[in-house]
Structure 1
Amino acid sequence: MPIDPVAAKAVTFPEFSVEIERGRLRFFAQAIGETDPVFTDVGAARAAGHRDLPIPPTFLFSLTLEAPDSFGYLDALGIDIRHILHGGQRFDYHFPLCAGDTVTVREQIVDAYSKRGGALDFLVKRTEFLRDGDLAATATSTVVVRHPEGAQR
């Protein structure tokens, strides 16, 4: 079933807040193979000029999974999760986030389009991460929806 770009952009995401915890940062750093002690040792982080443990690269994506229904937008659009692919992700950082920060997460679909005669649909989601109302980072992710039955349009 093709994705209606107007309907996709109308999907709403509940805003939510989450505190960045040291243990979670350490676990994430370990999971991605990060060996720089600045990401796991508070003393090393402070010696490097950080307030506390800084977030490792791509950590912010894991915060989006804290949403009450992080993939509910796919259901709302009638998308079968078996047919999605990760199409890309980009992070733009405006200032550092560290353990102890509370981050507000705002998400929205900013674009939806098709390629290959409708065999592939693309959803572009923008996520803003705010600390104390200030934009700390922006993530842009693309989900590709395959239509195994071929072109839909």
Structure 2
Amino acid sequence: MVDQSAVGHRFTPVTADVEPGRLRYFFETLGESNLVYRDAAAAEAAGYKGIPIPPTYLFCLEMLDNDKPFEFLTALDIDLGKVLHGEQSFTYHAPVVVGDKLTFQSSVASVADKKGGAMTLIVVETAVTNQHGVHVADTARTIVVRNG
């Protein structure tokens, strides 16, 4: 089981660039055909400063550009074979577009044992800021750890 002392633990910040090639590949994988996501002029005509990212792309950026993507689990001495990604949420405060440089600062928000200690739910919250210091988004993910 994960100790309650983990609550508040802050992890090493992760910095990621919103690169056009990687984003284009993501859209192709999804089959996204909306020009707003493919053409800068269409994005600007829709009111964006550039090609925007889709809502869930922040999770991809944080994981892809993190040289220690499971640091928060290994730091808590959790066996990765007993982990399940349970839930993810995204709250945007400002648009994120191609060319932005983002910093992800994560911390453990809560730890709760469930089912009589058979599993533990860990909520990790992440604040995302851009290269201008603007707080553009918050994410929260629930990690399920099978105990025993």
Q: Tell me the TM-score normalized by structure 2.
A: 0.91
Cα-to-partner distance string for 1:123-143 (whole Å, 9 max, x where unaligned): 100111102112100000000
1:54 touches 1:98 (CA, 8 Å); kept in 2? yes
**Pairing partner for 1:54 from 52, 55, 59:** 52
Alignment match, 1:79: 78
Partner of 2:133: 133
User: Which residue type is aligned with residue 136 of structure 1?
Assistant: V
Q: Does the residue aligned with 1:55 lie in a helix, a strand or coil?
A: coil
Q: CA RMSD in A?
A: 1.4
- What CA distance in whole angstroms lies between the structure 2 residues aligned with 1:30 and 1:112? 37
Say whether the 8 Å CA contact 1:25–1:56 is kept in structure 2. no
Post-superposition offset of 1:10: 5.0
- The corresponding residue for 1:29 is 27
What letter matches 1:106 in structure 2?
Answer: Q
1:32 deviation in Å? 2.8
Q: Which runs of 4+ in 1 moved over 3 A?
A: none
Distance (whole Å) between structure 2 residues aligned to residue 33 and residue 57 of structure 1: 15
Q: Given residue 23 of structure 2, which amino acid in structure 1 is its aligned partner?
A: L
Q: Given the alignment of the two structures, is residue 112 of structure 1 paired with residue 111 of structure 2, yes or no?
A: yes
Question: Percent of pairs identical after alignment?
Answer: 38
Equivalent pairs, count: 146
Structure 1 gap ranges (5+): none
Cα contact 2:8–2:109 (8 A) shared by 1? no
Counterpart position of 1:40: 38
Q: Is the 8 A contact 1:109 1:123 kept in 2?
A: yes
The 8 Å contact of residues 95 and 137 in structure 1, kept in 2 or not, is answered as yes
- Which is further off, 26-35 or 113-122? 26-35
Contact 2:18/2:99, CA 8 A, preserved across alignment: yes
